[in-house]
Amino acid sequence: MSSTQIWDPERYARNARFVSDLGMPVVHLLAPRPGERILDLGCGDGVLAAKLAEMGCEVVGVDASEMQVAAARKLGLDARVMAGEALQFRDEFDAVFSNAALHWMLPPEEVIAGVWHALRHGGRFVAEMGGHGNVEMIQAALVDALDRRGINGESFVPWFFPTIEDYSARLRKAGFVVSYISLFPRPTPLPGDVTSWLESFAEDFLSALPAAERPAYIEEVREALRPKLCDARGNWTADYVRLRFAAQKPRA
């Protein structure tokens, strides 16, 4: 299914600032050089794209959300509304960068093909996304609580969390040379209650229910997760797993 997620920049800044805060390792893997032309794929509100611009890069950000693109433009960025699976660029970027966004973009082979065409020969694709096992407990609780209501919860999962083998095979099939790829758990402390995470990121599951039934659903998911993700002091940690990689489009 395609996602029904709505990206509200204010809610995102309130509940999900940690996403860009934790994005610096992938910026370091990108190792941007001043003057490079870089595409930030799924730029969101543009915070990391602005960092790349501060480092002297010429940055274009794309995101499927009009509201996020408007927020990125407020930072002075060249940000455009474009879906990751329908990129419209040809041989113009030194690098394509993406943080915490590719798992929302389906089908992955169309995303990878668009990245390939966007890059110049010798260009690089450097990204981090949710990998195999990402938010496994959260996803299971969301699916199970829909199943209990007689709804096929699995059919509302909007994310793609690949293994190393799966994603490197896709990159190689498109022509990329994969120089680095790693899958690792990154338990992520949440800034507040898991409810805010669910309200921010689980709209696809919520869309399965009438508005009046959503608060009870969220509460049920939260209580299912409490023994697994909440410590004795009430601090919540999400069970994130990252897939981080660098791949090159060979020189012609």
Is the Cβ of residue 116 or residue 240 nearer to ligand BEZ in the bound state? 240
Helix axes 164-174, 108-118, angle to 10 degrees: 50
Residue among 160, 177, 173 nearest 101 (CA): 160
Is the Cβ of residue 12 or residue 93 nearer to ligand BEZ in the bound state? 12
Is the Cβ of residue 71 or residue 138 nearer to ligand BEZ in the bound state? 138
Nearest distance in Å: CB 130, ligand BEZ:
3
Is the Cβ of residue 77 or residue 100 nearer to ligand BEZ in the bound state? 100
Nearest distance in Å: CB 90, ligand BEZ:
29
Residue among 214, 70, 225 nearest 140 (CA): 225
Is the Cβ of residue 103 or residue 124 nearer to ligand BEZ in the bound state? 103
Chain residue at closest Cβ approach to ligand BEZ? 130
Nearest distance in Å: CB 233, ligand BEZ:
24
DSSP character for 192?
S
| Residue ranges that bind ligand BEZ, judged by CB under 6 A | 100, 103, 130, 134-135, 159, 201, 240
Q: 107-131 in b/e burial notation, b at 16+ Cβ within 10 A?
A: ebeebbbbbbebbbeebbbbbbbbb
Asked whether 242 and 101 are in contact (CB, 8 A), the reply is no
Residue among 162, 126, 158 nearest 142 (CA): 158
How many whole angstroms separate alpha carbon 204 and alpha carbon 197?
A: 13
Nearest distance in Å: CB 252, ligand BEZ:
34
Nearest distance in Å: CB 250, ligand BEZ:
30
